[in-house]
Amino acid sequence: MPEVKKSVKTIEVNYICDACGHGMMEQRGEIDPASGDHPHACVICGHQQSFKLTYPRILYVEEEEGTQGCA
């Protein structure tokens, strides 16, 4: 099957700390194999929280899409 190319835009997705409201959450440690959770900690206050996704993360969207519909 032939290759298909298209322009994409790179979007960085961060999660702001629920505790201090200023720092960004960063993955710390390994995924929990039982729950699938990724441990994270705030880069400012150190608050720890787990998520199903990792932060920061990168999304790729088609150029004409912009940031609408990013999840």
pTM of the predicted protein model: 0.76
φ, ψ of residue 7 in degrees (nearest 5): -75, 135
Q: What pLDDT score was predicted for residue 65?
A: 53
| pLDDT for position 69 | 54
Q: Which tokens belong to 26?
A: 């960063």
List, run by run, the mean pLDDT of 10-residue segments along the chain (71 residues): 92 97 96 96 98 96 66 53
The strand order across the sheet containing 48-51 reads: 25-27, 38-42, 48-51
